[in-house]
C-alpha cells in the first residue's frame, strides 16, 4: 500500500511540475499530378516521394526559417515530423513545443516550406528538361548539316536524326506536362490550435497505480524470501513437527523491572491469562509426572526465556502447587533480577559441586565431598512474593558450568528437588550459545523452547531443536513470546 501511495504522489508531483508539451498539425494535399506522376507522360516527383526525408533536409529548414523570420535555419532541422494517410494523397506535418503558439507556427511554416520545396523541385526538373531539349536540338542540327553535305543520301545519319527527334519530342512532352500541371502540393489545412501531447493525468495516474502495485508485490515477495524470522503460530506449525504450547502477547511494560512477573502484577491481563493457558497445556502433557522437572530455553539470547520461566512458575504456584524456579544459567543469570533474589547467597553452582569446601558454612558436615544434602538444598531456597514459589539462585559463576550440570551432584540434586516440590522449572542459557541446556535437557522431564515473534530466526530455531533432540531432550513444544496474534486476545475482563 505504501508503494502505491508513493507512486501516485510522485506521478501527481510530476504532472504538476512538468510543463505540458503542445502539438499542432497542418495538412498538405498532393495534387492528382503528383500522385499519378509515375505515368509515361508525367515524371514522378522525387521531392515528395519520401516526405519524412524531405522534412529533415536543410533546404526545407531554410524555407521554414524564412517564413518564421528566423536567422538560424540549423536550429529548425528536425523540428517537425510527417505522416501520410493510407491513400497517399495527404501529408500531415506536426510540430511540438512548450508553447502552443510556437507549435502552431512551426507546423504551418514547415507545411508551407514542404510545398515550396516541392515546387522548387518541379522547377528544377523543368530546367533540366529544357537543357536536355537544347542538347537534342544542337545534335540534330549538326546531323542535318552533315546529311545536307552528303547530298541527303546518308541513311545512317537519317536514322540518328529520327531517333534524336523522337527523344526530343518525349522530353518536350514531359516538360509541357510538368509546366501545365500546376502545383504538385498545396497546404490543404493550416494548423489553428495546438493540443497537449504525451500522457494525460488520468492515464499517468493509472500507470502509477499499476507500477505501485507491482513494486509493492515485488517488495513483499522479496521481503518474504529474505525474511527468515518467526511470524506466528501458522508458520511454526507448518515448519516444525512440534506443538505450539501457547502464545504470550506483547506486554506494554515487559521491559520494566516491576512487570517481570506479570501474572502477579496484572493477574487479570491478557498476558496473565495466556500464561495460565500455557500452564494448563503443560499439565496435560505432564499428568503422569507427580513431581515434574521442566527446562525453559531458547535458540538465542533475547527471546524472553527468563520472562516465560518466571511467569510460568508463578502460575503453577498460584494454582496451589509447591513450585521451585531455578536459575540454571550459570554464565549470565537473569532470574535474580526478575525475582529480586540475593546473589550473594549460595546457589546452584555450589549445590552442584562435589567439593564441599566450596560450600559456605551454612550447612557444615564432616564430609568434604559428595552430593548436596536435603538440608543444604533447603537452606539455599529463597522466598518470592508468592508463598508457594521458592527460588534457587545461580550462585557464584563457575569455570565449568557444563561439567557441573552433568555431574553426579546435579543428578542427586534433581532427585531431591522432586521430593520437596511439585514442579521445578529451570531457566537455562540459550541452546546455540553454549552446551548447558543440552546437558540439562537430557535429565529433566520436558523442555520448553521459547521464540520471540518477529525476532527469532527460523534457521536458528531448527538448529536448536535438532541439537536438543540429538542430546536426548524431550521437547514438549514451543512457546511464542511477544505474539501480536495471540489467541487469548479474544479474552476480556469480567
| Tens of pLDDT, residues 222-259 | 656 667 788 878 888 877 889 999 999 987 655 444 44
In the chain, % of residues over pLDDT 90 = 31
- The yes-or-no verdict on residue 152 having pLDDT over 90 is no
- The yes-or-no verdict on residue 334 having pLDDT over 50 is yes
Higher pLDDT, 317 or 492: 317
pLDDT of residue 36: 47
Question: Model's pTM, two decimal places?
Answer: 0.58
8 A C-beta contact, residue 211 and residue 199:
no
pLDDT of residue 233: 84
- The yes-or-no verdict on residue 284 having pLDDT over 50 is yes
Q: Average pLDDT over the chain, rounded to whole? A: 81
pLDDT of residue 358: 52
Residues constituting the chain: 494
Mean per-residue pLDDT, 293-319: 94
- The yes-or-no verdict on residue 479 having pLDDT over 90 is yes
Mean per-residue pLDDT, 59-67: 88
Domain 230-490, architecture per CATH:
3-Layer(aba) Sandwich (3.40)
pLDDT of residue 489: 44
- The yes-or-no verdict on residue 217 having pLDDT over 90 is no
Higher pLDDT, 86 or 439: 439
Higher pLDDT, 56 or 152: 56
- The yes-or-no verdict on residue 125 having pLDDT over 70 is yes
Q: What confidence category does residue 330 fall into, taking pLDDT thresholds of 50, 70 and 90?
A: very high
Q: What confidence category does residue 427 fall into, taking pLDDT thresholds of 50, 70 and 90?
A: very high
pLDDT of residue 42: 46
| Tens of pLDDT, residues 23-59 | 888 888 876 555 444 444 444 555 566 777 888 888 8
| Tens of pLDDT, residues 155-178 | 888 888 888 888 888 888 877 776
8 A C-beta contact, residue 425 and residue 325:
yes
Q: What confidence category does residue 273 fall into, taking pLDDT thresholds of 50, 70 and 90?
A: very high
| Tens of pLDDT, residues 348-377 | 998 988 655 555 554 444 455 567 788 888
pLDDT of residue 220: 64
Cell output for 113: 516550406
Higher pLDDT, 113 or 213: 113
8 A C-beta contact, residue 379 and residue 363:
yes
Amino acid at each position: 500500500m505504501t508503494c502505491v501511495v508513493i507512486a501516485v504522489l510522485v506521478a501527481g508531483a510530476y504532472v504538476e511540475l512538468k510543463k505540458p508539451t503542445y502539438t499542432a498539425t497542418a495538412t498538405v494535399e498532393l495534387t492528382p499530378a503528383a500522385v499519378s506522376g509515375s505515368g509515361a507522360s508525367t515524371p514522378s516527383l522525387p521531392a515528395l516521394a519520401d516526405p519524412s526525408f524531405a522534412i529533415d533536409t536543410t533546404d526545407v529548414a531554410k524555407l521554414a526559417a524564412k517564413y518564421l523570420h528566423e536567422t538560424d535555419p540549423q536550429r529548425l532541422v528536425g523540428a517537425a515530423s510527417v505522416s501520410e494517410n493510407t491513400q497517399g494523397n495527404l501529408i500531415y506535418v506536426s510540430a511540438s513545443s512548450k508553447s502552443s503558439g510556437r507549435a502552431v507556427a512551426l507546423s504551418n511554416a514547415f507545411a508551407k516550406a514542404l510545398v515550396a520545396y516541392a515546387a522548387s523541385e518541379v522547377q528544377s526538373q523543368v530546367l533540366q528538361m529544357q537543357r536536355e531539349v537544347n542538347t537534342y536540338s544542337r545534335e540534330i542540327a549538326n546531323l542535318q548539316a552533315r546529311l545536307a553535305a552528303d547530298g541527303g543520301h546518308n541513311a545512317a545519319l537519317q536514322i540518328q536524326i529520327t531517333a534524336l527527334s523522337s527523344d526530343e519530342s518525349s522530353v518536350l512532352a514531359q516538360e509541357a506536362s510538368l509546366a501545365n500541371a500546376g502545383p504538385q502540393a498545396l497546404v490543404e489545412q493550416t494548423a489553428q490550435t495546438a493540443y497537449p501531447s504525451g500522457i494525460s493525468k488520468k492515464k499517468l495516474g493509472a500507470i502509477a497505480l499499476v507500477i505501485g502495485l507491482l513494486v509493492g508485490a515485488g517488495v513483499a515477495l522479496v521481503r518474504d524470501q529474505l525474511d527468515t524470522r518467526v511470524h506466528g503460530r501458522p508458520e511454526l506449525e507448518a515448519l516444525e513437527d512440534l506443538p505450539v504450547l501457547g502464545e504470550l502477547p506483547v506486554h506494554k511494560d515487559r521491559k520494566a523491572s516491576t512487570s517481570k512477573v506479570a501474572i502477579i502484577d496484572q493477574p487479570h491481563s491478557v498476558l496473565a491469562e495466556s500464561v495460565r493457558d500455557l500452564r494448563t497445556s503443560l499439565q496435560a502433557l505432564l499428568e503422569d509426572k507427580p513431581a515434574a522437572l521442566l527446562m525453559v530455553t531458547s535458540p538465542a539470547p533475547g527471546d524472553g526465556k527468563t520472562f516465560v520461566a518466571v511467569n510460568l512458575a508463578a502460575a503453577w504456584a498460584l494454582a496451589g502447587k509447591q513450585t521451585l524456579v531455578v536459575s540454571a544459567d550459570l554464565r549470565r543469570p537473569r532470574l535474580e533480577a526478575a525475582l529480586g533474589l540475593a546473589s550473594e547467597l549460595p546457589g546452584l553452582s555450589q549445590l552442584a559441586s562435589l567439593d564441599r569446601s566450596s560450600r559456605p558454612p551454612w550447612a557444615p558436615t564432616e564430609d568434604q565431598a559428595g552430593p548436596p544434602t536435603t538440608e543444604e538444598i533447603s537452606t539455599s531456597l529463597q522466598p518470592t512474593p508468592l508463598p508457594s514459589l521458592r527460588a534457587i539462585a545461580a550462585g557464584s559463576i563457575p569455570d565449568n558450568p557444563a561439567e557441573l550440570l552433568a555431574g553426579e551432584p546435579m543428578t542427586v540434586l534433581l532427585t531431591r528437588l522432586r521430593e520437596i516440590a511439585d514442579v521445578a522449572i529451570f531457566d537455562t542459557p540459550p541452546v546455540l550459545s553454549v552446551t548447558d541446556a543440552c546437558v540439562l535437557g537430557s535429565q529433566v522431564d520436558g523442555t520448553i523452547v521459547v521464540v520471540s515473534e518477529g525476532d527469532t530466526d527460523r534457521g536458528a530455531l531448527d538448529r536448536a531443536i535438532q541439537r536438543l533432540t540429538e542430546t536426548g531432550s524431550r521437547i514438549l513444544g514451543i512457546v511464542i513470546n511477544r505474539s501480536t496474534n495471540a489467541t487469548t486476545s479474544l479474552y476480556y475482563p469480567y
